[in-house]
Amino acid sequence: MKILRLLYFVLMVAVLHACSSPGSEEPTSFSSADTAKLAQIIDIRTFKPTKVNFKYTYIANTANSQRFGVPGPSYSRLEAVLDFDAATFEKIAEGYKSAAYISPNLDKKDFSFDWLDADVRNELDKIDSTYKPAPDLLFGSDKNGGLWLLDKKILLIKFSN
In angstroms, rounded to a whole number, what is the distance separating the alpha carbons of residues 107 and 104? Answer: 9
Per-residue pLDDT tens digits for 63-95: 555 555 556 677 899 999 999 999 999 999 888
61 with 37: CB under 8 angstroms? no
pLDDT tens, position by position, 96-154: 876 656 666 788 899 999 999 999 999 999 988 777 788 887 887 667 888 899 999 99
Using pLDDT thresholds of 50, 70 and 90, give the confidence band for residue 20. Answer: very low
The answer to whether position 2 is within a domain reads: no
Phi, psi of 134 (to 5 degrees): -95, 155
The DSSP code for 111 is G
In a domain, 3, yes or no: no
Residue of 26, 30, 122 lying closest to 78 (CA atoms): 30
In this prediction, residue 81 carries a pLDDT of: 97
Q: Confirm whether 47 is domain-assigned.
A: yes
Residue 29: inside a domain: yes
Look up the domain containing 32 and give its range.
23-159
- Confirm whether 18 is domain-assigned: no
What's the pLDDT score for residue 62?
A: 66
Any domain includes 17: no
Count the domains in the chain. Answer: 1
Quick count: other Cβ atoms within 10 Å of Cβ 51? 12
The answer to whether position 87 is within a domain reads yes
Confidence of residue 23 (pLDDT cuts 50, 70, 90): very low
Q: Is the pLDDT of residue 21 over 50?
A: no
Looking at the domain assignment, is residue 1 inside a domain?
Answer: no
**pLDDT value, residue 78:** 95
